[in-house]
Every structure is written in C-alpha cells, then in structure tokens.
Amino acid sequence: MTVLKSISCTFLMIFLCSFFSLHAAGKNEDFNIRNYGAVGDGKTDNAVAIQKAIDACSKAGGGKVVVPAGQTFLSGPFNLKSNIEFHVEVNAKVLANPDEKVYLKSAFRENKGEGTIWIGGENLVNVTLSGAGTLDGNGVSFMGAELDDSFVLKPFEVIDPRPHLLTIVGGKNIRIRDLYIRNSAYWTVHLIGCEDVAIDNITLLNNLKVRNSDGIDLDHSKNVRISNCYIESGDDCICLKNRREYEEFGACENITVSNCTMTSRSCAIKIGSENMDSINNVLINNCIITKSNRGIGIQNRDEGTVSNVIFSNIIIDSHLFSDVWWGKAEPIYVTAYSRASGNHKDAGWRFPKGEREGKVGMVSNISFSNIKCTSENGVYVGAESADKISGIIFDQVDLLINKTTPILGGVYDRRPSKVEGLLKARVSAFYLDKAKHITIRNSSVVWAENRPDYYGHVIESHEVTALKTFNLEGDSAFPGKLEAIKK
C-alpha cells in the first residue's frame, strides 16, 4: 500500500510539474495587450498598454505579443523590441492616434521636416510582424483639404507631424508577413540599415491622393526579399535608396522583389532619388504594374551609384496624372542628373555637409527583359553627360503607346535636377539622351489609333554612343511624315 501511495504521489508530482511548466511556457509565448490594460473601443489611446506588453515579452526572453481579434485599438507611438512577434489577429486593428501632438520623434534624426515615427524600433534582432489583422496609419486625418488628385499638405514650422507607419533602424532577421497595412500619412514600411529581411504576402493600401505615402522603402538595407505583395500607394510602391541621415549603414544591396502587383501615382518600382552610397545586385521579377503614373524608374540624383540591376517578366500599364506627381507616364525611366541646387526646407540633408550643390554617380549594367508596356509615353533614358549611363539592355520590351487621358503629353519628367525639370519633346517609344552602350533587341513598338500630333519616332537619340538595335519592329507614329529612327 505504501509503495502504491509512493508511486501515485510520484505520478502526481510529475503531472503537476508538467502542467505548471506548460502553463508558464504558454504565458511566456503569448502577451495579450488586453492583459496590460488595452481597451479596444477605437477611442482610448493604448500606446502605454501596448508598450507594457512588448516590454514584458522582451523581459521574459521573447515571445508573441497578441492584438486580439474583433476590436480596434487606437494608439500613439510605441517601439518594438528584439525577439518578439507582434501578431495582429484576424479582424483586429491597430489604428494610429489622429492627434498630431503625440508624434514627437523624427523619422530622419536631426532632419525634422520629413515626418515622425508611429511604430518604431532600433537595433532589433529577430522581430516578426504578422497576422491577418490591420495596421492602419489613419493617414487622411493628417491631411489638409482634398483636391482632384491629391490632398493639400498642412503647413508646419519645424517638425512635420505626419507619422511614418513603421520605421526600423538597424534591424537583423526582420519578418513582415500576412498583414493588411493601410492609410499611412507618410512612408509606410521604412527599413533603414536592416539585414536579412523577408516581406511576404502583405496587402498595403494607401490613399492614392496622399503625397509621400511610399509603400516599402529599403534604405541602406541588405539581403532583402519582398514577395507576393499587393501595394497601392500615392507615392512609390517599392523604393530603394541611401539617405544621407543614415550614411553609416553603407550600401543598399542584394535585393529581390518577386510576384508583386502595384499601383502608384508616382513610380511603382523606383531606385533613388536619394542615393549617397551604392545600390547594387537587384533582381525584380514577375510583377504587374497597373493604373500607375510611372512604371519602373531609376532616378539617380546624388553621388551614389546604381549597378547590376535586372528587371524581368513585368507588365506595365501607365497613364498621365497632374504635375503634383513626379512622372509623365514613362513606363521605363533611367536617369542620372545632379540634384537641383538647394533652397528648400531640407536642403541641408540633400547634399554633402556644408554644400548646396551635389554630383551624380554612374548608372551601369541595367537589364530589362520581357517587359510588356501599355502607356501614353515611351521609355526615357537620360543623363547630364554620356559617361553617367552605360550598359543598358532592352530585350523583348514591347510597347503599345496609346493616348488614354485628357492630360496633355509630349513631356518627360526629369525632376528633381539641375537641368530643366519638364522636358518638352515628341513622344518616342525610346527617347535616349546622353548615354553609351545601349542595346535594344527583339522588341516592338505599336501606336494605337488615338495619336496626338506630338507622337513621334520609334527611337530618338541625342549624344548616344554605341547604340545597337537588333530585330526591332515598328514604325513611327506617322509613317511618311516622320522617320522611325531619329539621331
């Protein structure tokens, strides 16, 4: 009997130890923000409660911070920490507080004129943002009056209070997946000096009238994979750059983008314009760009270089919009111009320290393969001198040029640059201005029936050396009046 009691006690102790061990592990893994005081009424600011949950999770060694389903949690700024998963459950929403006064931290350090931070974090390791719920930047709340195709930007004195939705500085092993991210008042996902990043299966929908509402900005970041995303943004959908405020992080390199669908009022996929270092080793593949202003753009305006970039298997549909937005419906745009001399609020951050003028670096070894374009404008390649652009290949680039809006065309947009920002010229399928080693092969040009009188040539080139064409099909917009190729 004593032996049986001893065995029973032993099994009971093992059971209780296992139970409490599992219970403790469960507590470590899940930190529900409601347990830290969060109220999901869409009115109470929950920044303190959310921060408490994040801090507790971090102090416990890491785990999952949960935003529970079915409620809206208003919040001012809060910071992520290492070794956590910030999980927004299905039908849950974290909504940015519309009160401008709660946003105090600059998104660009001492440069206070370009927005603040809502969800932030610095020097993070092993961070995941996940779930089928929503991060909502409440963007229109920070705008002025609504215009036809944009909002008026409110005036400010020192700090532009518009919050960037997510800003991570110096992160490693960052994962963003499955979320619904929307309504940012400024840049949406800004990753600065981050390494080993995967962004997968997110839906990012900004108001198309909100200026500066970039989708994903990779700034001095390395080894990044973006895949299976749907993005709509007033400004660039995906942008690679090297901002001067964060120059210690070095080059932006080893980037892949695949299987994404995008719409933009500026440029769907852009490299630049801020680039004071090097952007290299970039692969962009299997993407669809619809109802956009500009499709693909390399917009080098600073001393940094752009090299070894491949765009392949892309469908582009672009249209003209007002001059509020950079771009004139160029489906593909490759440029290298020095930035315009500084006389605006952030000029001190656009040029090397103490200077008001800058230089532009070289753009080289860029390939476009199997690109299908429907647009009101043609491809534009241009630089301030022929030595700034070299080694551009267009292979199986097919253009259907068609006038589809009442907005007057016959313009290429070179803003921001020392040269004339808006260049008036005939629309040609390929307009090449100062470059060398350009190859166009296995490509075609078709002009639709609606042809304004400023539609022109298959190729118009100026100061281009080593231009080669192979199997290029098509004629000018007005055969018999205009030559197909104008040099």
How do the domains of the chain map onto residue ranges? 61-235, 259-487
pLDDT category, 7, cuts 50, 70, 90? Answer: very low
Instruction: Give dist(CA 434, CA 335) in Å, integer.
Output: 10
> Closest by alpha carbon to 218, among 179, 303, 275?
275
Instruction: Give dist(CA 182, CA 208) in Å, integer.
Output: 11
Contact 80, 100 (CB under 8 A): no
The predicted structure's pLDDT at residue 343: 57
Is residue 362's pLDDT more than 70?
A: yes
Is residue 290's pLDDT more than 90?
A: yes
Q: What are the tokens at 186?
A: 């400024």
Instruction: Give dist(CA 120, CA 107) in Å, integer.
Output: 9
CATH topology of domain 61-235: Pectate Lyase C-like (2.160.20)
Instruction: Give dist(CA 167, CA 230) in Å, integer.
Output: 20
The predicted structure's pLDDT at residue 29: 65
Instruction: Give dist(CA 129, CA 244) in Å, integer.
Output: 27
Integer Rg of the chain from CA:
26
Instruction: Give dist(CA 302, CA 279) in Å, integer.
Output: 12
- Mean pLDDT over the full length of the chain: 94
Q: What are the tokens at 166?
A: 């997510």
CA distances from 396 to 371, 440, 457, 484 (A): 6, 8, 18, 18
What's the predicted TM-score (pTM) here? 0.94
pLDDT in tens, 372-427: 999 999 999 999 999 999 999 999 999 999 999 999 999 999 999 999 999 999 99
